Amino acid sequence: MFEELAQSPASSSVRSLVAQAVSELHLGRSEEAQAALEQAIKKEPQFAEAVANLLVLTLITGKDATELKG
């Protein structure tokens, strides 16, 4: 569902990108989740939900949080 929505320019809001990322993470698709979160942060760098979820994803995947972009 989110893949179809992601292809629509009208639905690529920051909030929908975060929702997509959370769904991707629950499906075990961490790379897709990270891409959606990075896209959300690129659009709105101070959006707390996106930043928080990217940090959680980084910790879950065992990556170094100091390597986060931004």
- What are the helix (H) ranges across 27-69? 30-43, 48-60
pLDDT at 65: 75
Q: Is 20 exposed, middle or buried (0-12, 13-18, 19+ CB in 10 A)?
A: buried
Structure tokens at 13: 């809001």
Q: Class of the 2-63 domain?
A: mainly alpha
pLDDT in tens, the chain (70 residues): 555 555 555 557 999 999 999 999 999 999 999 999 999 999 999 999 999 999 999 999 998 877 765 5
Give the Cα separation of 38 and 65 in Å (integer): 14
**Domain residue spans of the chain:** 2-63
Longest dimension (CA), the chain: 34
Plot region of 29 (φ>0 → left; ψ -120 to 50 → alpha; else → beta): beta
